[in-house]
Amino acid sequence: MRLLFFSPHYGTLGGVRSIIDTLAHAAVAAGHDVTFVVDSDGARAPGPAREMMLYPFPPQVRDVRRLGRFVRKFPRAAARLASAVRAARPDVVSVHCMRRFAPHVAFLRRASGVPQVLNLQEGALPADAPQNVGLFCQLVRAADAVAACSEEAADYARRRGRARRVTVVPNGYDPAEFRPGPPYPNPRPYVLGLGRLEAQKGFDTLVAAVEGIGDDVDVLLAGDGSERPRLEALAREHGVAARVRFVGATDRPTTLALLRGAAVVACPSRFEGLPLVCIEALAAERPLVASAVNGIPEIVRDGETGLLVPADDPVALAAALLRMRRAPDEAARLAARGRTLVEQRYAWPVIAPAYLALCADVARDLPPPRSQDIREPSRFPVRSTRSS
């Protein structure tokens, strides 16, 4: 099978890139050919890559300036994307993007004729976020199959996106990475926040909770992003700057050491798919406190494998973190159950072959793509709405 991975998010270090690399390595190991069309950092991809920057549809339809820029840039970019995919001659395209790139994905499917499997990493958005359900419908309906990372995302794809074929293929972890090793050297116990420093991840809630978790514990934030200056200012405002440490982006060995050494791992996200940090925290057998959003409760089962709290509630987050620290026996029991759960259901050596089997099934179900006109589209194919 010739498999092409398409992602306009690959250049951003985070879960999407980790998932793509893991699936690509598994595909190569299984004897498949892999190629990539990505936004940047293609030299680090595990196969031949072409870099291509695409301009996304604006978050708000009323943003006339960004909408006008999208309209101007889309036709040529979409045609270049389709040409790049056709040149690679894949049997199937593995799509890894969010709804703001739905017009590109939909045009690519029509213009290239190559079947698509959408690796869906998003579900319902918070009520105060731009929903753009029209774009979500366009994204999932362009796919010949949707591989949803959680039951919640799968349900949303069926119910709101009216997707044609949906299978749950969760994210996973590599058991070989989670063997005993040295912890991260921090002089005091620490709560770990791991991920991109962006508003979605809710680390401002974690910083606001620091005052309520005891004076003998630090908070380490591992990752980088546009929210860092605001988070640093928030730590100063709350008088906890000395206890909130910004580690920055970390390599894989450092990330694993941080997980091993954490007293508690916090995932205070406002919305997610099925975050790798939750899976990996449980794989490292660490106590975990997370927001009760999207697919997270499927793995962080409140009082069984971790503790759940409402998003945007620093008081509830502080109370749960403090409970984990003051009841170490309970925390250890939850962590042990969490590790058992991920060992049974979330290991990449089982999940990656299932994803590749879905791709092969989609490729077999369709006739070879016909030659089609892939010149610049005369207008961008998007129907956008805002819905709560």
The string of DSSP letters for 219-249 reads EEEE---TTHHHHHHHHHHTT-TTTEEEEES
> What does the pLDDT read at residue 74?
96
Same domain, 164 and 233: no
Same domain, 330 and 205: yes
How far is the C-alpha of 278 from the C-alpha of 297, rounded, in Å? 10
Same domain, 81 and 214: no
Same domain, 287 and 267: yes
Task: Identify residue 160 by its one-letter amino acid code.
Answer: R
Same domain, 254 and 164: no
Same domain, 151 and 53: yes
Number of domains making up the chain: 2
- List the one residue out of 274, 273, 257 whose CA is nearest residue 222: 257
Mean of all residue pLDDT scores within the chain: 92
Q: For residue range 60-85, what is the model confidence (pLDDT) as tens digits?
A: 888 899 999 999 999 999 999 999 99
- List the one residue out of 315, 316, 288 whose CA is nearest residue 302: 288
Same domain, 35 and 114: yes
Examine residue 374 and state whether it is found in any structural domain, yes or no: no
How far is the C-alpha of 224 from the C-alpha of 184, rounded, in Å? 18
> What does the pLDDT read at residue 367?
52
Which pairs from 325-334 meet CB under 8 Å and 24+ separation?
325/189, 325/213, 325/214, 325/217, 325/263, 325/264, 331/264, 331/287, 332/287, 334/287, 334/288, 334/303, 334/304, 334/305, 334/306, 334/307
Q: For residue range 126-184, what is the model confidence (pLDDT) as tens digits?
A: 988 877 899 999 999 999 999 999 999 999 999 999 999 999 999 999 999 999 999 99
Q: Which residues have C-beta within 8 Å of that of residue 248, sequence separation ≥ 6?
A: 222, 223, 224
Examine residue 21 and state whether it is found in any structural domain, yes or no: yes
Examine residue 384 and state whether it is found in any structural domain, yes or no: no
Same domain, 184 and 119: no
Same domain, 322 and 185: yes
Same domain, 273 and 290: yes
Domain extent at residue 235: 176-345
Q: For residue range 15-37, what is the model confidence (pLDDT) as tens digits?
A: 899 999 999 999 999 999 999 99
Contact 139, 159 (CB under 8 A): no
Examine residue 88 and state whether it is found in any structural domain, yes or no: yes
- List the one residue out of 167, 162, 138 whose CA is nearest residue 385: 138
Examine residue 376 and state whether it is found in any structural domain, yes or no: no
Tokens standing for residue 90? 């894949």
Tokens standing for residue 253? 């060995």
Cβ-in-10-Å burial (0-12, 13-18, 19+) of 107 comes to buried
Same domain, 31 and 74: yes
Q: For residue range 230-285, what is the model confidence (pLDDT) as tens digits?
A: 999 999 999 999 999 999 999 999 999 999 999 999 999 999 999 999 999 999 99
> What does the pLDDT read at residue 207?
98
Examine residue 211 and state whether it is found in any structural domain, yes or no: yes
Give a three-class secondary structure readout of 80-102: HHHHHHHHHCCCEEEECCCHHHH
Examine residue 387 and state whether it is found in any structural domain, yes or no: no
CATH of residue 221's domain is 3.40.50.2000
E strands in 103-154: 116-120, 145-148
Specify the pTM: 0.91
> What does the pLDDT read at residue 67?
94
Same domain, 329 and 258: yes
Tokens 């759940």 belong to 308
Examine residue 388 and state whether it is found in any structural domain, yes or no: no
Three-state DSSP at 34 gives: strand
Tokens 């406190």 belong to 289
